Structure 1
């Protein structure tokens, strides 16, 4: 099976299971680092002519990361397209199994069993905490309702403030984010690359956790270590001492 992946986390999952299947991936597919496949553009703007030139037997995509118009164009050109929908951790395991089966996997890979086991009883926090989770800075956008990353955090004892918002990724003014006074501000390094010098500065007096976006938002082999990696980063976030 010749597979083109338009989703970085699915790329990692297929590469780990069927290394020779991937013939095309996006520019954002960074794992594994030594992936030998043609780059076909971004997740939101793939070069469809390049995808078609690879004669894929299957294109794998996601309803959130990829545009419906691009996927429809590929179908019109006669390409089979599998679109995933992932809103929580159990759904990620179901969709991963479906994708790998469609790509030609003979059975369920060991890493998927290990990932599911890691989430069967994630580390139990001492107490639940509230969080604001920005995903973009200009303008400020945060996790809202019904997101995979929100479910990941909830399973680690962190309830994000805008989980009940009408939008999945609402734009919230910075003053309102600060006024929410969460126990922690969770700052992933993707899609916006928050760093120690770009993010925490906007939330003076609030503890900030800089976390791996791959562990917070990807559903693939990284799920096996995500509870441990994210749990460590969240525990390290402490409210700064008051200014003298």
Structure 2
């Protein structure tokens, strides 16, 4: 590697001491990616880092309220954050505490592949994992046609949906969906019940961040096909991408 400091997704030079041996991840998708690719490197993660299931590391609260003092006590070589998942104020607090932080920015599937490749090679100083190439191959095919007009709620009371410039929105496009609210200025717009149903041919209900189930969600979409899907398949940009397209495509086809 070059002697120059590596640069994270936001263009910030990050002074990383080599070799990287102790990592704290505050991003569930990337926690899974690091745990599977670099066993033993993770020393802590958030409560929301649910994969891999057998992950046994210390939990330093959540993505929006990390325990900065405890993270500092763990003396990590690097903390992994994400521009959307984590707050800027927490990134600043970590850096003010003398902790080295790498920030990712992921709003498309291609950005996910580029960001994760940079994370492993430039930040962690390891080889690009094989599963990343497998995931790229899985998502290389063009989207099916014709596109289906769809809505992807992420919350209810009030209803909030996936909109423009989002990873889930780009992934949905690759699955052959046209999000009817993607022309709104907000990335996750709030919509009324009437707006929620307008022009929709398919409702895709993930199980996170809101846990949509058979009894909570489908009843809001009378006479509209509904696909209940894994939120991890739809919104996580880690190893799940290897098989997510096949699972999601099957579920959408059957809806």
- Does the TM-score normalized on the shorter chain lie above 0.5? yes
**Alignment check: 8 A CA contact 2:180 2:199 kept:** no
1:199-242 CA-partner distances (Å, limit 9, x unpaired): 001111111111111010000100111110110111111xxxxx
Give the aligned partner of residue 159 of structure 1.
178
Distance 1:102 1:235 in 2: 39
Give the aligned partner of residue 32 of structure 1.
52
Give the aligned partner of residue 191 of structure 1.
209
1:80 and 2:88 matched: no
SS of corresponding position for 1:111: helix
SS of corresponding position for 2:191: coil
Aligned positions of 1:39-118 closer than 5 A: 39-118=59-138
Distance 1:80 1:7 in 2: 15
**Alignment check: 8 A CA contact 2:102 2:123 kept:** no
- RMSD of aligned alpha carbons: 1.2
1:231 and 2:249 matched: yes
Distance 1:135 1:18 in 2: 31
Give the aligned partner of residue 212 of structure 1.
230
State which of 161, 177, 180 in structure 2 corresponds to 1:142. 161
The CA deviation at 1:127 is 2.4
**Alignment check: 8 A CA contact 1:144 1:170 kept:** yes
Give the gaps of 5 or more residues in structure 1: 238-244
Aligned positions, number: 235
Give the aligned partner of residue 177 of structure 1.
196
Distance 2:235 2:195 in 1: 24
Q: TM-score, normalised by structure 2?
A: 0.89
Give the gaps of 5 or more residues in structure 2: 1-20
Distance 1:105 1:193 in 2: 37
Distance 1:125 1:69 in 2: 41
1:66-103 CA-partner distances (Å, limit 9, x unpaired): 01101100000111111111010000001001112245
